[in-house]
Amino acid sequence: MAKAVEKETKITPLMKQYNQIKGKYPDALLLFRVGDFYETFGKDAIVASKILGIVLTARNNGGSKLELAGFPHHSLDTYLPKLVRAGKRVAICDQLEDPKKTKKIVKKKIALGFKNLNRFDYDFNMDKYSKVIKKFIYL
């Protein structure tokens, strides 16, 4: 008699990092910087794709399908206000180092968070986000 073999799902290092950060902000829609894009995964991707009108796709994450939606990092000032106006709490996770200078997974940290047009958390040089913040002031 043949035994049913369960396929073991392995989590990629990137998704392990994402899950650790998402675990700290479970009620926030997490914009996770990957290269030149802010990506959303799973339920966040479904919500973001509907609100932002961006394509919802999927990636193979170690054998399991995971929803994915993202936008170019330079479009943050366009997309972030839409999420906040839709009533979402948003956490922005940015890269702490240049991806070109490391062979390992790029270190990341929550840079800024918004809820109802107010920052709820930040830990980065605010000059980098000044354009985004100014856009909120004039909403």
Cα distances (Å, whole numbers) of residue 72 to 9, 33, 124: 29, 9, 20
pLDDT at 112: 63
- Mode of pairing for the β-strands spanning 108-115 and 90-95: antiparallel
Q: What domain count does the chain have?
A: 1
Contact 31, 91 (CB under 8 A): yes
Exposure string (b/e) for 100-127, b if CB count within 10 Å is 16 or more? Answer: eeeeeebebebbbbbbeeeeeeeeeeee
CA dihedral (50, 53, 58, 61) in degrees, to 10, reads -80
DSSP 51: H
Contact 99, 85 (CB under 8 A): no
Examine residue 42 and state whether it is found in any structural domain, yes or no: yes
Examine residue 40 and state whether it is found in any structural domain, yes or no: yes
What pLDDT digit, counting tens, does each position of 46-56 carry? 999 999 999 99
* Range of the structural domain that residue 110 is part of: 13-137
Token pair 């986000």 is found at: 129
| CATH number of the domain within which 75 lies | 3.40.1170.10
Cβ partners under 8 Å of residue 139, min gap 6: 81, 85, 117
- β strands within 62-132, DSSP E: 64-72, 90-95, 108-115, 118-122
Q: What is the pLDDT tens value at each position of the chain, 139 positions in all? A: 455 545 556 788 889 999 999 998 898 999 999 989 999 999 999 999 999 999 999 877 656 788 999 999 989 888 988 888 888 888 888 887 777 887 788 877 777 666 655 554 444 444 555 555 544 433 3
